């Protein structure tokens, strides 16, 4: 059973490092789109931004009918 435990430990380690590498690559790609390409990819990929971007990113304009102050 020791050999089987070693095998699963090695598989677990390889998959863990692979997951960390893929996550880092994904974050690097998102930052590349945001910083270097300056495109809308990160904004479009963000669920929160896409649902509420009108409320957060656009300033509220005052209507002519609203009193000032």
Determine how many CB atoms are found less than 10 A away from the CB of residue 3: 7
Dihedral (C-alpha) 60, 31, 44, 46: value to the nearest 10 degrees?
A: -80
> Are the C-beta atoms of residues 30 and 41 closer than 8 Å to each other?
yes
Q: How far apart are CA 44 and CA 42, in angstroms?
A: 5
Q: How far apart are CA 35 and CA 27, in angstroms?
A: 12
Mean pLDDT of the chain: 80
pTM of the model: 0.58
Report pLDDT digits (tens) over 27-40.
999 889 889 998 88
């Amino acid at each position: 059973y020791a050999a089987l435990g070693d095998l699963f430990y090695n598989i677990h380690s390889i998959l863990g490092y692979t997951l960390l590498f893929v996550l880092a690559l994904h974050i690097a790609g998102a930052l590349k789109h945001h910083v270097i390409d300056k495109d809308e990819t990160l904004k479009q990929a963000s669920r929160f931004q896409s649902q509420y971007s009108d409320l957060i990113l656009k300033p509220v304009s005052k209507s002519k009918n609203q009193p000032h102050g």
